[in-house]
Amino acid sequence: MARKYPEYKQLNLSGISQEILKYWQDNNIFEESISSREGKPSFTFYEGPPSANGLPGIHHVMARSIKDIFCRFKTLEGYQVKRKAGWDTHGLPVELGVEKELGITKEDIGKSISVEAYNEACKKAVMRYTDVWNDLTEKMGYWVDMDDPYITYKPKYMETVWWLLKQLWDKDLMYKGYTIQPYSPKAGTGLSSHEVNMPGSYRDVTDTTIIAQFPAIKNEAYSKTFGDAVKADDKVYFLAWTTTPWTLPSNTALTVGKKIEYVMVETFNMYTHEAQKVVLAKNLVGKYFKAEQKDQPQADYDGKGKNIPWTIVWEGVGADLLELRYEQLLPYALPYENAENAFRVISGDFVTTEDGTGIVHTAPTFGADDAKVAKEATPPVPPMLVLDDNENPVPLVDLQGKFTKHMGEYGGRYVKNEYYADGEAPEKSVDVEIAIKLKEENKAFKVEKYVHSYPHCWRTDKPILYYPLDSWFINVTQHKERLVGLNKEINWKPKSTGEGRFGNWLENANDWNLSRSRYWGIPLPIWSTEDGTERKTFGSVEELKAACDEAIKAGLMDSHPFESFEPGNMDEANYDTVDLHRNVVDQIVLKSSAGEPMRRESDLIDVWFDSGAMPYAQLHYPFENKEKFETQYPADFIAEGVDQTRGWFYTLHTIAGLVFDSVAYKNVVSNGLVLDKNGHKMSKRLGNAADPFETILKYGADPVRWYMITNAQPWDNLKFDLEGIGEVQRKFFGTLYNTYSFFALYANIDGFEWNADQQTNVADRPEIDRWVLSRLQVLKQNVMNSFNEYEPTRAGRAMQQFVDEELSNWYVRLCRRRFWKGEMSTDKQMAYETLYECLFTVSQLMSPIAPFFADWLYQNLSSHLPEGSKEKSVHLTYLGEARAELIDERLNDRMKMAQQLSSMVFSLRKRESIKVRQPLQKMMVPALKPETVELIESIQDLVLSEVNVKELEILKDVSGVLVKKVKPDFKKLGPKYGKLMKQIAGAVGKFDQNDIAKLEEQGHYHLTLEGQEVELLIEDVEVSTEDIPGWLVMTENGITVALDITLSEELKNEGIARELVNRIQNLRKDSGLEVTDRIALRVQKADGLETAISENKGYITTETLTETLEMTDNLTEGLEVSFDEINTKIHLEKV
RNA sequence: AGUCCCGUAGCUCAGCUGGUUAGAGCGCUACACUGAUAAUGUAGAGGUCCGCAGUUCAAGUCUGCGCGGGACUACCA
């Protein structure tokens, strides 16, 4: 007989993944899953481009599973789901990698290596790991079109980015500014706020901190403010704290809070022991002065010890201190302009008295707040900018992070020891040296080590500097409201990320700093005249080419970089003649309206702009694909990690909002982190990172995906535990595999063949079939709803529950006999059809999450079907709607009852140690309500066969036999009686059998509680039975079961027969017989065995497929078996 | 400091619009079953549902205040 349904020896999920993957590749299943939906409504997904410059981790499997699930599901629903892969190719990580490889630094670029060669190296490096990524993509079963990915360094992509910038320019949303920015001297670039806020960039560091003493200048204002508190020869200092002593030479102001209370304290310097008076915030006094020493006579101080006396000699508020002046602390240099306005006390809102002294050291060149308050003061406080050799104003620290020559003995030294190459850092950092110097000069009030968190460059790992840089900005602030409004149209999963995290972020959004002073990226398409009075921006190669033509005519340029480019020709070959990177465009000198040369603004744009531009740039919009773009914008769905909230999610949203006044995506899933099993972050350093390839190879992609999706909601962090995958493998996939194997085994024996057109009528099938089909349709509804609501966890868990509990451990278990017995029959046919349908539907429903196994299952089920009635893959099938007409909730109630009754009988058997193989005569179930009676009648056969009992009697209400119990229905009574509820419950609890009888007879019961009349209705309570005197009884959830455990001879013999059958079956199996083999059986005689066999001969022989059964006295061969009190031997052979 | 998430059995997690014995799986113990067997059934042990206060007849569930864990944002002088 031909086997229609493949049978397997064991489940090998990893093998299945590989085998199915090959099948997909050989048959172009992915391509067909898209082409077969041509003309159907499209569902648009945008792939967030990974950078192929680094290796993928296990968290990528998580993120990509989520993406894949919804794309596959929508395909099943009939949508056409195009998904183009993409690569993020620009940016600092690539550059730094290349520098390291070539052994160069940023300074060498353009000198020892040409920009062109450097960019070429970057281009090569960036795609280095594409193979690894593609490999993972395939092995994990992520379907995305990798043959034609968008690549951000391609001319077409870059041209669209230029076009977008031009749109912003035309809307007057771009401007050049000068701001204090996070700057990484080692990387040689400013960092965007997203970069500074990358997870892990803030780190605890120990710095030398100084409370410096700024000597007050004794002028008119000074006398006016302090009056009698100060004497002519007093030394008075303002105390200000800094964690960055290297900024002290750049100090140009002190900032106080107007309303903060300040005091002047008369005391001694702890290092020089000189007498002095210091000013600081009043409520920080306790932090620096010991209470015991307060108001001790100054004259008693010995000038050495630590018990320094102190006395408050003046009190006031910040406003009193404004415009006081002080001597420059470290006079290395003066601001090149308006130096007379420096070294004053000014006010600022941000001053607090939480730490420090309540007076803030202000260095406008190295602090964003500092620059702001300095600018706002009247007159403005100048920043410490000095003139370099070219007469250009520069700060006292250069772009490498070194002090300039203006800094005397410190000139040329790095301001932080971390910036030195390994082993070259001096023992004392400049911070420490400055501290020593200040101590010696009586300008340090206190020096100490301090641990605080400080941002680090995410790539170089070195601390960042805040540094004044020229920059181009996108004016986001202006359209903040609109962006917030658009965000409300987006369906966020989870909601809180959108409303809370992302929403708050938008509301506080700052202008987007686009500038990056690097080489490998998309150049700003802005050309300026020397003095910056005229600027031009280009939104296409064509425009730029025209401008070049003009420049050449004017003699500003010799050669034409786009000589052979043909405007309007969209061929790849044409675009291959263009390169828009710095090595080319920096050579372009254009002509201003006055004939002056114009050069390009030297910065590149933030790479985040590249990725945020992908909806447009992947299609080379608007130069090509206009119609296609219309149908694919905005995205229906995107997904990335929650860490992208301020990354890709933000840039997509901002560009869409500012340029198109639209959302870029309608639904977004932001998934949480993948942590190790102890809840710690995975990192290569700690060695707790799981390798995605190893994991997939070992377990197969499906269990990994299934585990990740079902273990926790995607947006909760996942505690990734390999044992959890093992559990999924055993419990879910193992069970489903067993169910299929069971089906295949018997379907092949019986020659069952699925035929969609010749089905038995579902309505005619047995209760249990209709039940499981009803459950199946409920499952289908649940799963489809869950997927449509972007709740994959719910969908997965529902399937798991169905397969394990309902299909395998209830349906198949109860129906086993239907498959075993005898020849093919209608009932068998029905059982096969039912089980087939369940497996088939499950294969479809699970395919988004477990694409390989689902397809394997589907193909096993369908390979024998005639052409035209099957698809090549489950992923090409159409799911269709759930068949609501098959759902019958009452069936479900009945089945629940059956399960409960069975479990109760098992429990009773267990209590009396009567094994299930021993048949029992009778069980009784009391049922008071007619519905319950009906319910039990409908499932009694099921229960009886499950628990091996011969009859079930339903005890209708026979007073005296049953002991009843009554329980108030809180939901009904609560609202009616409110506070009396407790008393009612107490009274009802005390009802005896007579009270219950009375309530049941009359339908109501009168109670007087706390003087209040209570009329208790029968509907307000639940009456149940609790006991049947004289029987073995159990009660659970209001259902009672009684079991007759007396064993007649007949029952005993039947039990023995069953034991024997069991032993024979084991022997059959051990002898390696097929389940269909027929046997000749010989059994040695034993006490009590013969009658048992003769009474049950028919049963024994059919069960074991025995042709001849012989009882002998002396069986020499054969297996010894013993059970109950019987010892015998059995022997069988195949006939 | 602010915003958001989380806190239920040893572990991983359910618990809908408040309703009176708080659930599942894994793990553990014991017993059974075993022609699906890398399964399965039954029973047992294991919970002040983070704490406190409030609203309510009734709170794991709603509100407030704390505590603990996490993510993010700002600042970190």
Sign for the pseudo-dihedral over CA of A379, A383, A387, A390: negative
Torsion, Cα of A123, A125, A128, A134 (10° steps): -40
Q: Which two tokens stand for residue A303?
A: 């000038």
- Which single residue is written with the structure tokens 């945020």? A612
- Sequence-separated (6 or more) residues with CB below 8 Å from residue A237: A213, A214, A215, A216, A276, A277, A278, A279, A443, A445
Task: State pLDDT tens for residues A1073-1089.
Answer: 777 778 888 888 887 78
Question: Residue A265 gets which letter from DSSP?
Answer: E
CATH label of the domain that carries residue A392:
3.90.740.10
DSSP state of A405: G
Q: What range defines the domain where residue A40 resides?
A: 36-89+130-151+480-510+632-713
Instruction: Return the CATH number at A80.
Output: 3.40.50.620
Higher per-residue confidence, A166 vs A890: A166
pLDDT recorded at residue A957: 64
User: What is the 3-class SS of A184-228, one letter each residue?
Assistant: ECCCCEECCHHHHCCCCCEEEEEEEEEEEEEEECCCHHHHHHHHH
C-alpha to C-alpha distance for A409 and A328, rounded to whole angstroms: 18
Q: What is the pLDDT of residue A1093?
A: 84
Q: With 70 as the cut, is the pLDDT of residue A832 above it? A: yes
User: For A319, how many CA atoms within 13 A lie in the half-sphere containing its CB?
Assistant: 2
Q: Is residue A700 domain-shared with residue A806, that is, in the same domain?
A: no
End position of a domain, from candidates A861, A887, A913: A887
Query: Which residue is listed with tokens 């290596």?
Result: A113
Q: Please say if the pLDDT value at position A1 is more than 60.
A: no
Q: Is the CB of A965 under 7 A from strand B?
A: no
Give yes or no for CB of A731 within 7 Å of strand B: yes
Nucleotide B67 C1' to residue A493 CA (A): 29
Instruction: Give me the pLDDT at residue A834, please.
Output: 92
Q: How far is CA A478 from CA A242, A650, A660, A1124, in A?
A: 35, 16, 15, 88
Rounded to an integer, the average pLDDT of A1103-1120 is 80
Q: Are residues A691 and A764 in the same domain?
A: no
A985 touches strand B (CB under 7 A): yes
- Is A343 part of a structural domain of the chain? yes
Query: Mean of the per-residue pLDDT values for chain A?
Result: 84
Last residue of a domain, one of A713, A732, A758: A713
Count of other CB atoms within 10 angstroms of residue A586 = 15
- pLDDT for A932 equals 77
Q: What is the pLDDT of residues A86-131, one digit of tens each?
A: 998 888 778 878 888 888 877 688 888 899 999 999 998 888 888 8
Q: Are A1108 and A1080 in contact (CB under 8 A)?
A: yes
Q: Which residues contact A769 (CB under 8 A, 6 or more apart)?
A: A762, A830, A831, A834
Please report whether residue A104 resides in a domain: no
CB-based contacts of A74, cutoff 8 Å, min separation 6? A43, A81, A636
Active site residue A472: no
Establish whether the CB of A970 is closer than 7 Å to any nucleic acid atom in strand B: yes
Q: What is the pLDDT of residues A51-60, one digit of tens each?
A: 777 788 888 8
Give the Cα separation of A398 and A107 in Å (integer). Answer: 13
Q: Are residues A735 and A705 in the same domain?
A: no
Residue A789's pLDDT is 86
- A709 with A726, same domain? no
Q: Does the C-beta of A951 come within 7 A of strand B? A: no
Residue A959's pLDDT is what?
55
Q: How many domains does chain A have?
A: 5
Using the CA of A367, which nucleotide's C1' is the nearest one?
B77
Q: Which residues contact A401 (CB under 8 A, 6 or more apart)?
A: A185, A186, A414, A415, A416, A419, A465
pLDDT 10s digits, A856-880: 999 999 988 888 888 999 999 999 9
Catalytic site residue A147?
no
Q: Which tens digit of pLDDT belongs to each residue from A438-484?
A: 999 999 998 888 777 777 876 677 888 888 877 888 888 888 888 88
Q: Which of residues 490-519 of A touch strand B (CB under 7 A)?
A: 494, 496-497, 499-501, 504-505, 508
Residue A349 located in a structural domain: yes
User: Is the Cβ atom of A900 within 7 Å of strand B at any atom?
Assistant: no
Cβ of A347 near strand B (under 7 Å)? The reply is no
Residues A233 and A368 in one domain: yes
Listed range (A158-167, A628-637, A855-864, A975-984) with the worst mean pLDDT: A975-984
| A382 in active site | no
Poorest-pLDDT segment among A132-136, A631-635, A831-835, A910-914: A910-914
Q: What is the DSSP string of A139-178?
A: HTT---EEEEEEETTSHHHHHHHHHHHHHHHHTT-EEEEE
| Structural domain ending residue among the three candidates A713, A733, A760 | A713
| Range 198-217, chain A: CB under 7 Å to any strand B atom | 198-199, 202, 209
In this predicted complex, what is the ipTM?
Answer: 0.81
pLDDT value of residue A567: 92
Same domain, A244 and A284: yes
The pLDDT of residue A888 is above 90: no
Q: Coil, helix or strand for A1120? A: strand
Query: Which range has the worst mean pLDDT, A206-210, A235-239, A998-1002?
Result: A998-1002
Do A680 and A735 have their domain in common?
A: no
Q: Given pLDDT bands bounded at 50, 70 and 90, which one contains residue A1029?
A: low
Q: Does A983 qualify as catalytic in the annotation?
A: no
For the residues A259-270, what does the mean pLDDT come to? 87
- The kind and range of the H/E element at A920 are strand A920-926
Share of chain A above pLDDT 70, in %: 95
Hey, what's the torsion of the CAs at A969, A970, A976, A979, to 10 degrees? 140
Residues A733 and A709 in one domain: no
Look at residue A1027 in the predicted model and tell me its pLDDT.
Answer: 65
Residue A988, pLDDT score: 79
Given the residues A24, A143, A648, A706, select the one marked as catalytic. A648
Same domain? For A701 and A745 the reply is no
Co-location of A796 and A705 in the same domain: no
pLDDT score of A195? 60
Q: Answer yes or no: do A449 and A489 share one domain.
A: no
Does residue A88 carry a catalytic annotation? yes
Q: How far is the CA of A496 from the C1' of B64 (A)?
A: 21
| A375 CB below 7 A from strand B atoms | no
Shortest CA–C1' contact from A351: which nucleotide? Answer: B77
A593 domain-assigned: no
Instruction: Output the distance from A479 CA to B65 C1' rounded to whole Å.
Output: 38
pLDDT band at A198 (very low <50, low <70, confident <90, very high): low
Task: Tell me which residue of A239, A631, A637 sits closest to A447, measured CA to CA.
Answer: A239
The answer to whether residue A143 is catalytic is no
Per mean pLDDT, which of A272-286, A340-354, A361-375, A1000-1014 is the most reliable?
A272-286
In a domain, A4, yes or no: no
Rounded CA gap, A1076 and A581, in Å? 74
The predicted pLDDT at position A661 comes to 93
Active-site residue (options: A24, A49, A383, A810): A49
| Chain B footprint bases within 7 A of protein beta carbons | 3-6, 11-14, 19-21, 25-26, 31-43, 56-58, 69-77
For residues A414 and A1092, the model is more confident at: A414
Q: Separation of CA A1122 and C1' B36 in angstroms?
A: 26
Number of residues in chain A: 1135
- Are the C-beta atoms of residues A91 and A191 closer than 8 Å to each other? no
Give the pLDDT of residue A889.
79
Q: At A995, which CATH number?
A: 3.30.720.200
Q: Do A706 and A775 touch, CB atoms closer than 8 A? A: no
Q: Is A648 a catalytic residue?
A: yes
Banded model confidence at residue A200, pLDDT cuts 50, 70, 90: low
The first and second tokens of residue A617, run together, are 């740039």
A711 CB below 7 A from strand B atoms? yes
> Residue A439 domain-assigned?
yes
Nearest 5 degrees, angle CA A275-CA A276-CA A277?
Answer: 145
Q: Does residue A637 fall inside a structural domain?
A: yes
Same domain? For A446 and A309 the reply is: yes
Q: Is residue A579 a part of any domain in this protein? A: no
pLDDT in tens, A650-707: 899 999 999 999 999 999 888 877 777 666 666 655 566 778 898 888 888 998 899 8
